[in-house]
Amino acid sequence: MARQGTGSRIILRILGVIVAAFMLFCALYSMNIIKTEDKVEVAGFKDDFGNVFTGFLVSGIKEGYGDIVYEDGNRYTGEFAGGEYNGQGTFKAAAGWEYRGEFKGGLPDGQGIFRDGAGGVFSGAFEAGKITGEGAFSKLEGWIYDGMWNQGRQTGEGTFTYADGSVYKGGFKDGAASGFGIYRDAAGWRYEGGFSQGLFHGKGTLVFPDGEIMTVEWEAGIPIYPEEEDESQ
């Protein structure tokens, strides 16, 4: 009888351990947390700010591939490192714009594609969240800029094609034509010379469809004096 009583107690203890383990599993399952190796996989976990995250946590920090939907409707899907966007990913804003490409330190950095939500598309280089380097931006209105950028502004050499077919090719500074450039108007005439803040500036040459050539000195888009070229030369 004593042995039978001892055996019953052992069985009850084993059952108690099994029940406790089952209850722990249920608790983890109800929290949508599943342990996989050294990471914790979180499925649809909502934080105190109303953001919903699905992905991997290491010591409570987002690592690896994941998806987060923010309370305001913004969404990021892609790679995390150190709790920040790092690597390839896609950020979709509730306002309608989207960035798809490389991230570093939580910001677009590297090659990527930006869609402004109104038909505009930029494809090219980013640095610390700003368009910097080489890239092309086309707008729904019909214009296209292809060239160098710095901090979100056209800076360096580039080509701007207007909706009517006119083309400017040359230097840019802070988003405007600057330095030497060539402007070819859709009407057939062209200008070769200096620019400043998007205007003819300094010496330049006008060439008209009928062959007439004029060398003009400009001051902020205003001609100072015209000189006709000696066509006999």
Q: What is the pLDDT of residues 6-65, one digit of tens each?
A: 555 555 454 454 545 545 445 544 444 444 456 788 898 898 999 999 999 998 899 999
What percent of the chain clears pLDDT 70, i.e. is strictly above it?
A: 80
Q: Which pLDDT score, from 0 to 100, does residue 51 have?
A: 96
Look up residue 211 and give its two tokens: 């062959």
Longest dimension (CA), the chain: 131
List of residues 6+ apart from 147 with CB closer than 8 A: 134, 136, 154, 156, 157, 158, 159, 160, 172
| Contact of 71 with 57, CB cutoff 8 Å | no
CA distances from 191 to 124, 170, 175, 201, 205 (A): 29, 12, 19, 11, 6
